[in-house]
Amino acid sequence: MTISKILIKNYIFHYEKIGSGPPILFIHGSLCDLRYWKLQIKELSNFFSVYTISLRDYWPNNYYHDLDNFSINQHALDLINFIEDVIAQKIFLVGHSRGGSIALKIAINRPDLLNKLIIAEPKLVNKFYNFDQNDNVISIASRLIQNGNINAGLSYFIDHVSGCKIWHKMSSWFKSMAIDNANTIIKQNKEQKYYIDHIDLLKIKIPILLINGELSPNIYFKTIQYLNNTLFNSNSITIHGSSHGMNIDNAKEFNKIVYNFCCMKNII
C-alpha cells in the first residue's frame, strides 16, 4: 500500500490512488479507513482510477480530542474539497454505512461533481424516516471504549450493526483497523444527529444504485426501500450471502455490481 498525503484547509489527509481510467472514490463508514476497500482496490483498479481516503480523525490522519469538525457535514465538505483539488473531474462515488450518508450529502450539495452514486446501507434521519436504532448502541460502545474496554466496545458495536457474533468472525486485518479507529466512536456518539431533508432527496437527479446485504439487520432493508421510493433515478440490489459489510463478505459480487453500474451494464 502506497499512501499519499494532501493538505486541504489546514488538515492533512491520507489517501491512495491506484489504477487508471475513470475516477471512482470510495467513502468508508464507522471504525474504518482507507484500508476498508482493499478488496475493491485489487479488482477495480484494473478498470478505474480508484481513490480511497481516510476521513478526518480516522487512521492514519491526526486524531484531535475536541469535537470540532467531526460531523457528516464536515466530512462531506472535506471530500468535496478533495474531489476539486486532487481528482479535478467528475467521479463515480461509492459510500458505505455512515459513508453512504456522507455520499448523499455530497450529491445534494454538489451534484455537478458526480457521474453516478452508489450507496450501501446508509444511516438516515428525517421527518419521514428515522433510522435511530444505532443511537443507543453507539452510546454504550462509546462508554465501553472510554473506560478502556476497547474490544468489548467494538464487539458490541459491530455485533449490533452487522449481526450477532459478527465481530468474532471478523478477519484480523479488519479488527486491527477497527482498533486503530476505536476513539472515533466516542466522537460519533457526540456528533450532531445527521438530518437529511426529504425534499433534498427529491432534488437528486443523478443515477443512484442502492445496495443492501441479504443477511443485514432489517433496518437497512427499510432504509433502502425508503430511499428507492423517494429518489428520482434509483434502483436497488441485494448482495447474496452478506451482511452489512457486503463488500468484504462477497467482494466478487460487490465489485461486479459496482463495475457494471458505472459502465452502464444492465445489472438490475
Lowest average pLDDT, out of 99-108, 128-137, 153-162, 218-227, goes to: 128-137
Q: Hey, is 217 helix, strand or coil?
A: coil
- The pTM for the full model equals 0.95
CB 183 within 8 Å of CB 63: yes
- pLDDT at position 133 is 55
pLDDT tens figures, 197-226: 889 999 999 999 999 999 999 889 999 999
pLDDT tens figures, 155-167: 999 998 888 788 9
pLDDT tens figures, 15-63: 999 999 999 999 999 999 999 999 999 999 999 999 999 999 999 999 9
Per-position b or e across 77-95, b if 16+ CB within 10 A of its CB: bbbbebbeebbeebbbbbb
Q: With pLDDT > 90 as the criterion, what percentage of the chain qualifies?
A: 82
- pLDDT at position 211 is 98
- pLDDT at position 268 is 44
- Domains of the chain (ranges; CATH) run 13-131+195-262 (3.40.50.1820)
C-alpha closest to that of 228 among 116, 119, 108: 119
- pLDDT at position 110 is 98
Q: What is the mean pLDDT of the chain?
A: 93
